[in-house]
Amino acid sequence: MEELRSIKVINELGMHAHAAGQIVELAYKYRAKLFLRKDSREVDGLSILSILSLACPKGSEIKARIVGVDAKEFMDDLERLFKSKFGETEQGKYQPRKKIMKMKGFPVSPGITIGKAHHLDRSKTTIFYRKLINKKEIDKEINRFRQAVDMAKEQIQTFKSNITEQVKGYAFVLDTHSMILDDSLLFDSTIQRIKKGKVNAGWALKKSVNNIHHLFKKVEDEYIGRRMDDVDSVSERVLRNLTGVEPDSLAGIKKEVIIVAHSLSPCDIVEINVSHVMGILTDVGGRTSHMAIMSEALEIPVVVGLESATEIIVDGDLLIVDGNTGDIIINPGPDTIASYEEKRKRYNKYKSAVDRVRHLPAETSDGHKITIKANIEFLGETKSAIENGAEGIGLYRTEYLYMIKKDFPDEQTLIDDYSQIAKMVAPNPVTIRTLDIASDKMMTSDSEIGASKEDNPALGLRSIRFCLSERNVFKTQLRAILRASVYGNFRLMFPMISGLGQFLEAKRVLKSVMRSLDREGIEYNREIPVGILIEIPSATSIADILARHADFFSIGTNDLIQYALAIDRDNEHVAHLYEPFHPAVLRMIHQVVEAGNNEGIDVSLCGEIAGDPLAILILLSLGLEEFSMNIGSIPLIKKMIRMLPLREVRDQFKGILQLPTSEKVESFVLKKAQSLLPNIFKEGVFRYRAVGIG
């Protein structure tokens, strides 16, 4: 059955978001499909944004078409809704049922969306302590735990078999979750706690997870520390299986909504249908969690770390989510909605323009070639890096394989991983960073390495210091890197070098490994470039000395800024003092670039600020011509570079090193940026402030 009618918009504010939301809600009540037409354009009546896009002010006439068994009844109700003016007051003002509120979180996937909130229950399972009386109860509890783990493995495998094309490159994350279930720190430890402590499985598992938390809690590297999220996700799945609690399913969502949850796991991301899920908000999580990394591939706005979103936001609240800034507006007024609709259109327009240049060379408008590479942590990110236009991998973090198992990975495991990335990226280069982790955070319970605790592991036995202390671990990794080097174009980089003696000692270990491979007749690239990750102030001070012995420099600004300013950017009390534009930081970068240029070696920058549109102007002016950044930043930075005249940038920025404060630097650069790239900086479409600024 089909019904056709002309309906006039008679309310003062026209077909605004609140009105569109009521139409969508009505549409879900009937066994019929609604289409709305204005002029020559017809849209789906189940899409709030499609309805808003018709732009129907008061007086507009639209054609309603309804197809289905309930068409007549549906059309009558729709007509009544329009005649009721969508519940507007006599003054014509839309009155939100709740006070307008704003929240701020960490943006992890860009974009702007407007829609209704949908709560997804991901609260932690409550576990109670229960003492076991006898061996029979203990054996029964162990068996219950084994069954819950097996069930979790089956569930993860089901998710993997149904994985969508958008996140297929991250299937390895689900494999990792299966590996964690088998890990002795979780599996064996829990069984031992059930036996020795005579406690129920849920309580024993909780204690095992707390122990793993203790191992991770002082990890300096945010990327490694965030892997604890995977352990929490896996253990929560097992706990639900133990208690018989069925979690809310994302697969069951059939209307356009914005998900609000305490947290989401990679398995949740796999379940998402982007036709229905318009955005994601979570109380917890960081920019480098697996959930955040995977969600960016879905190309929907995601904001995490909101702390109390699940408490403040009510099911059905109208939300504006800005995945560029992390801003959330709850129950916005009509003017705010209109403003963000316009902002969303501008963002989508510029994003389309940016996407069109991702595979073009990063060449300035006056002909200078700039190299743009990607920072990655997992093999699975390689495909995404290439698809986003990366001209190589400028930083491959190698810690993950060391963090997911109790024992150190063997040589073959490392070779398998390294050779795959070499083949995928070839002929472009891969800069592989040797192990960068603190000794007391290695996931090992019976090794002497993990036995001693350090009060401040960030300044203790970590990174190259750990590697030089534990030569066997270091040599195994170096052997794997060298053996994999025959499959592509590898560059080897030592992190946290503080002085020349340390670097020369690392090179001596490398030479001894090379001699060992020679004796065994094993092929490798004898000319593999060996460089330094410059991330300690002492290294910047002697960059001229180090440059005589290194094949290349890569400036790691994330740690360099923290060490130079004595700031922990993850500490909420001092995070505002983390200033990437601090004059001292800029002078350090310039000093390293000058030292490298004088010795004729390549100098690149692989810190987070490389992907910041405002910072990139400063870095180009300081003489840098190679950058490695987060994958999502590559297209925009390429677009900017292709629009910039490099000679003019360097000429206009000549006095930047004389500016006395980070505030003056930012003000100076923003003014220049708005002049050089008005389409990007005047429109306010993209996030351009480096983390810690403003």
- The single-letter DSSP state of residue 462 is B
CATH for 135-243 is: 1.10.274.10
The per-residue pLDDT for 91 is 45
Cα 536 from chain centroid (whole Å):
25
Question: Using an 8 Å Cβ cutoff, are 661 and 384 in contact?
Answer: no
pLDDT, tens only, 302-311: 998 898 899 8
Question: Using an 8 Å Cβ cutoff, are 303 and 105 in contact?
Answer: yes
CATH for 101-122+250-353 is: 3.50.30.10
Choices 3.40.190.10, 2.60.40.1180, 3.40.50.10790, 3.20.20.60: CATH for 357-649: 3.20.20.60
Domain-by-domain residue ranges, the chain? Answer: 2-87, 101-122+250-353, 135-243, 357-649
- The single-letter DSSP state of residue 217 is T
Question: Using an 8 Å Cβ cutoff, are 688 and 107 in contact?
Answer: no
Average pLDDT of the chain to the nearest whole number = 85
Least confident of 254-263, 370-379, 395-404: 395-404
Q: CB-based contacts of 443: which residues, under 8 Å, 6+ apart?
A: 183, 185, 212, 215, 402, 403, 404, 405, 406, 450
pLDDT, tens only, 605-644: 998 899 988 999 999 999 999 999 988 889 989 999 999 9
- The helices-and-strands tally (H runs, E runs) of the chain is 28, 20
- The single-letter DSSP state of residue 369 is B
Determine the Cα–Cα distance for residues 551 and 599; give it in Å rounded to an integer.
10
The per-residue pLDDT for 85 is 85
Among 568, 585, 570, CA closest to 534: 585
Do domains 2-87 and 101-122+250-353 share one topology? The answer is no
Res. 365: pLDDT tops 70: yes
Cα–Cα distances (Å) from 479 to 312, 492, 510, 520, 586, in that order, read: 53, 12, 9, 12, 37
Question: Using an 8 Å Cβ cutoff, are 441 and 218 in contact?
Answer: yes
- Name the CATH topology of 2-87: Histidine-containing Protein; Chain: A; (3.30.1340)
The per-residue pLDDT for 666 is 92
pLDDT, tens only, 403-449: 666 578 899 999 999 999 999 999 999 999 999 875 544 444 334 44
| Annotated catalytic residue within 177, 262, 290, 582 | 290
**Residue 290 annotated in active site:** yes
Q: Taking residues 528-548, what's their average pLDDT? A: 97
Q: Taking residues 478-494, what's their average pLDDT? A: 97
| Annotated catalytic residue within 56, 267, 467, 606 | 606
pLDDT, tens only, 287-346: 656 677 777 777 889 998 898 899 899 888 999 999 988 999 999 988 899 889 988 888
